């Protein structure tokens, strides 16, 4: 049994082996999930109290499905870590767009597991057999944003899978559109497939800028685009279908090669779709990750085919909590889920006042 005496190093070694395997059985996933849960229950007091409140202790939790899902807001309210926070190599923070300045904090004793998880899954879904590609990153570097998990993620991408002439095209001064256009031009002329990666809202800004300059490209076959994160009020909100139509038309990349990554600061593993020929696309996670759709009020799984709020059990989250409850609505499919957006609080009808309206009114 993993318990309080299992060290982060022990778990790390075990997880690296687990991630490296081609596949695992349900029993193997379950066994490791329960061991990590037992350790987290023993070593993290706020989590222990949360589990007790929900009436779940290691004695009662028999399946990974019984592990209490921690609402992502808890990453703002509590320190969720098995080792003292100051001993952690890295803390990723949420961008804090949803609730003022309070930021969620995700503590990582080391990034070995995070990196292994990212590299294995990225190689499969984004690289698709290519070893290295010239990359353009539409996001600041890790040096500029040391607490951003996305900056680290994109840093790993460029470092491990980027060809020599890969570069960042967004910094303190904004988009480096001219430099990026040169790179795209070059890729176009040399018939060298190119990968453009970045935050969804950066793509929206880029599309706007290219449109105002009347520019578009036809990138060589094999080129791909990866966007992530949605628009988060950082740019104009555009319907998803229009977004991929515009991306495809502006860069000459088939919508099947316009991949969306769904990830969160509170996880250590990402989800990908197989392109966005039609939207919403199906998102899939790797074998060390399982997702369920829950009724947000009761925490029970919803009937198959019904909308629910996504809960993820990510074994790479070995130090914080394996199982988190998101605010994202989805529907389960055979091998993944479709993301339908955020579970925004319901608007009150008429003159009664519900929280969300009130917040809106207060912000107005």
Partner 1 sequence: MTSTSKTDVFRAGYLPGLRDDEVHWKRLQLGAPNDPLTVEVPELSTDQIKTLASRVRLASQAHLKSWPVSDIVRTIDTAIARLLNAQDPYRQALERLLPRATGFDATMVQLGLNSYLQTFRALQLQRFVTEDFANPKLLDEFQARPKGGWSKAIGPDLLVHVWAGNVPALPLWSFVSGLLVKAGAIGKISSSEPIFASLFARLLVEVEPRWADCFAVVWWQGGDKDVERCVFAEADVVLAYGGNTALRGMQDRMPVTARFLPHGHKLSFGMVSNTALSVFRGQATAHAAALDVARYDQQGCYSPHEFYVQRGGQMQPLEFAQHLASELAALATKFARRTLTLEEAASVGGWREHHEFESLRQARHRVLGDASQAFAVVYADTPQPLQPGPLNRCVLVVAVDSLQDVIPLIEPQRAYLQTVGLAAAPEELLALGDALGQAGVTRICALGAMTSPEAGWHHDGRFSLLDLVRMVDIDQSAELAAERFTGYEL
In the complex, least distance from residue 352 CB atom to partner 1, rounded to whole angstroms: 5
Distance separating alpha carbons of residues 47 and 98, to the nearest angstrom: 23
If residue 15 lies in a helix (H) or strand (E), which one and from where to where?
Answer: helix 8-20
Positions 19 through 48 that interact with partner 1 (CB under 8 A): 46
Sketch the per residue contact string, 303 through 342, with partner 1: x for CB under 8 A, - otherwise.
Answer: ----xxx-----------------x-x-------------
Of 27, 173, 344, 363, which lies in the binding site for partner 1, with binding defined by CB under 8 A? Answer: 344
Of 239, 297, 305, 334, which lies in the binding site for partner 1, with binding defined by CB under 8 A? Answer: 297
In the complex, least distance from residue 357 CB atom to partner 1, rounded to whole angstroms: 6
Which distant-in-sequence residues (6+ apart) come within 8 Å of 121 by Cβ?
Answer: 269, 270, 272, 285, 286
Is 261 within 8 Å of 226 (Cβ atoms)?
yes
The window from 74-82, 122-130, 180-188, 271-279 that contacts partner 1 (CB under 8 A) reads: 74-82
How far is C-alpha 261 from the chain's CA centre?
6
* C-alpha dist (Å) from residue 42 to 47, 75, 109, 111: 9, 18, 17, 22
User: Hey, how many other C-beta atoms are within 10 angstroms of the C-beta on 358?
Assistant: 12
In the complex, least distance from residue 267 CB atom to partner 1, rounded to whole angstroms: 18
Rg (CA), the chain: 21
Sketch the per residue contact string, 149 through 188, with partner 1: x for CB under 8 A, - otherwise.
Answer: ----------------------------------------
Between CA 273 and CA 281, with CA 279 as vertex, the angle to 5 degrees is 25
Size of the site for partner 1 (CB under 8 A): 39
In the complex, least distance from residue 296 CB atom to partner 1, rounded to whole angstroms: 4
* C-alpha dist (Å) from residue 192 to 274, 345, 364: 22, 47, 49
355 scored as a contact of partner 1 (CB under 8 A): yes
Interface contacts to partner 1, rule CB under 8 A: 46, 49-50, 53, 71, 73-74, 77-78, 295-300, 307-309, 327, 329, 343-358, 360-361, 364
């Amino acid at each position: 049994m993993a318990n309080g005496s299992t060290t982060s190093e022990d778990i790390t070694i075990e997880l690296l082996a687990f991630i490296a395997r081609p596949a695992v059985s349900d029993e193997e996933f379950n066994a490791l999930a329960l061991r990590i849960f037992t350790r987290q229950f023993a070593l993290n007091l706020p989590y222990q109290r949360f589990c007790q409140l929900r009436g779940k202790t290691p004695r009662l939790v028999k399946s990974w499905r019984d592990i209490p899902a921690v609402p992502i807001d808890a990453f703002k309210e509590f320190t969720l870590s098995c080792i003292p926070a100051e001993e952690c190599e890295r803390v990723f923070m949420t961008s804090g767009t949803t609730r003022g300045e309070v930021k969620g904090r995700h503590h990582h004793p080391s990034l070995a597991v995070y990196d292994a998880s990212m590299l294995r899954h990225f190689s499969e879904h984004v690289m698709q057999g290519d070893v290295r590609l010239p990359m353009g990153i539409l996001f600041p570097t890790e040096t500029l944003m040391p607490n951003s998990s996305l900056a680290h993620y994109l840093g790993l991408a460029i470092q491990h899978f980027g060809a020599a002439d890969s570069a960042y095209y967004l910094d303190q001064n904004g988009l480096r559109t001219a430099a990026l256009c040169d790179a795209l031009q070059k890729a176009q002329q040399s018939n060298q497939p190119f990968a453009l990666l970045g935050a969804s809202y950066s793509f929206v800004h880029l599309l706007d800028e290219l449109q105002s300059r009347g520019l578009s490209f036809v990138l060589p076959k094999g080129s791909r685009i990866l966007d992530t994160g949605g628009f988060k009020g950082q740019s104009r909100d555009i319907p998803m279908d229009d977004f991929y139509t515009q991306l495809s038309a502006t860069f000459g990349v088939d919508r099947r090669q316009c991949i969306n990554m769904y990830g969160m600061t509170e996880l250590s593993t990402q989800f990908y779709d197989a392109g966005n020929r039609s939207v919403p696309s199906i998102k899939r996670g790797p074998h060390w990750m399982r997702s369920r759709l829950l009724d947000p009020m009761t925490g029970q799984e919803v009937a198959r085919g019904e909308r629910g709020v996504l809960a993820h059990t990510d074994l790479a989250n070995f130090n914080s909590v394996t199982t988190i409850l998101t605010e994202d609505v989805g529907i389960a499919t055979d091998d993944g889920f479709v993301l339908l957006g955020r579970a925004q609080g319901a608007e009150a009808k008429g003159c009664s006042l519900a929280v969300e309206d009130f917040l809106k009114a207060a912000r107005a």
